[in-house]
Amino acid sequence: MRNPYTEITRREAAVRLSAAALVTAALGGGALAFHDRREPGSEERTLPDWRAAGPGDRLRTVAARGSDPRANVRRAIAALGGIGRFVRPGEAVLIKPNVGWDRLPEQAANTDPNVIAELVALCREAGARRVVVTDISCNDPRRCFARSGISAAAHAAGAEVVESQQLALVPARLSGLAGGLEVIEELLRADRVINVPVAKHHGLSRVTLGMKNWFGVLGDGRNRLHQDIHRAVADLGALFRPTLTVVDATRVLLRNGPQGGSLADVRAVGAVAAGTDPVACEAWGAAQLGLEPRSLGFIAQAEQRGLGRSDLALVQELGTA
């Protein structure tokens, strides 16, 4: 049913530099214009730990399959113990989808709007006092949020939608990353954060998933991180500790990512994974594109750092509804 809403060769280096230039050009297209910024020299803020469970608790990831993205989300969250395990009454929740591109849902460049709508509804059912859906878009943010279907779906489910031009940026301590980076202030106001990437191809990292999705909370200068993409993505995975990662594989973009455009590059998978192990979520998402998880540098580095495990046998498949 249609949804409305080591060492490298010189040649490899040239290819990577060319891809980096394309990504940088996309990010430089005027998307990073913000509502407010703090004065230079403002105190750097520390990123909270948004995890609901303690670091010693057992990490777990589950996947649900079926034709209804909303049902997949609900089944996966229920298998993890229910949304009440992660979101408590009175808490403020930030949901971070990928809304980078001026694309329709069928083009699989952004998170599916139905996945976002169901997560908003679940957070509201859990008694969240506020649910914010936001991202820093690469294309014009108004068009990205409208054409992706995310603005309408999130609003209808009871969320506040905050587009790039409405965001304030604040300095943050981002040890290991390029200096001088800022993050969106809404992120620091949240009690819980749910990271909701779409599984898709990327010209530099081969695939973009949850850890790469944190680019969308960073301000000017984030394009510098593409120079050593695998280390930067693993750094982001170490710095940002979300309450949940929910990987959207309703449709996956197999080629010409991250922006896509052609429906010939899209494959319908009909699946969603949710978990507290961000590395397992990355591994599962990579597998939906037919990739061996440990062949991806950022996954290997994240696992080496102890951020989680990439063994797909650890992901509980709930099957098709």
> How much is the pLDDT for 37?
59
> How much is the pLDDT for 227?
87
Give whole-number Cα distances, 256 to 50, 55, 109, 203, 260, in Å. 33, 37, 10, 7, 5
| 85 pLDDT above the threshold of 70 | yes
For 207-220, write each residue's pLDDT tens digit: 999 999 999 999 98
Q: Which of 5, 173, 16 is nearest to 97 (CA)?
A: 5
> How much is the pLDDT for 29?
41
The pTM (predicted TM-score) of the whole model is 0.88
Average pLDDT (11-23) is 39
Average pLDDT (26-37) is 51
Owner of token pair 């991202």: 135
Pull the structure tokens for residue 43. 């105190």
| 33 pLDDT above the threshold of 80 | no
> How much is the pLDDT for 3?
41
Average pLDDT (223-239) is 93
Owner of token pair 């009871």: 158
> How much is the pLDDT for 41?
53
> How much is the pLDDT for 117?
99
Show Cβ contacts of residue 47 under 8 Å, excluding neighbours closer than 6 positions.
Answer: 172, 173, 174, 183, 187, 188, 239, 240, 241
Show Cβ contacts of residue 58 under 8 Å, excluding neighbours closer than 6 positions.
Answer: none
Mean pLDDT in the chain?
89
Pairing of strands 61-65, 266-275: antiparallel
Q: What is the CATH number of domain 33-320?
A: 3.40.50
> How much is the pLDDT for 180?
79
> How much is the pLDDT for 13?
37
> How much is the pLDDT for 56?
52
Pull the structure tokens for residue 148. 């992706």
> How much is the pLDDT for 88?
97
Give the number of other Cβ atoms within 10 Å of residue 238's Cβ: 17
> How much is the pLDDT for 199?
98
The top-scoring range by mean pLDDT among 19-28, 174-183, 310-319 is 310-319
Owner of token pair 């909303």: 70
For 275-298, write each residue's pLDDT tens digit: 999 999 999 999 999 999 999 999
Average pLDDT (66-77) is 98
By percentage, how much of the chain surpasses pLDDT 70?
85
| 46 pLDDT above the threshold of 70 | yes
Which of 26-30, 89-93, 236-240 shows the lowest per-residue confidence on average (mean pLDDT)?
A: 26-30
The total number of residues shown for the chain amounts to 321
> How much is the pLDDT for 8?
35
> How much is the pLDDT for 36?
64
The 8-class DSSP code of residue 214 comes to: G
> How much is the pLDDT for 252?
98
Domain spans in the chain, listed from the N-terminal domain onward = 33-320
> How much is the pLDDT for 32?
53
Rounded CA separation 321/306 (Å): 33
| 35 pLDDT above the threshold of 60 | no
Q: Which of 156, 176, 308 is nearest to 245 (CA)?
A: 308
Rounded CA separation 137/286 (Å): 23
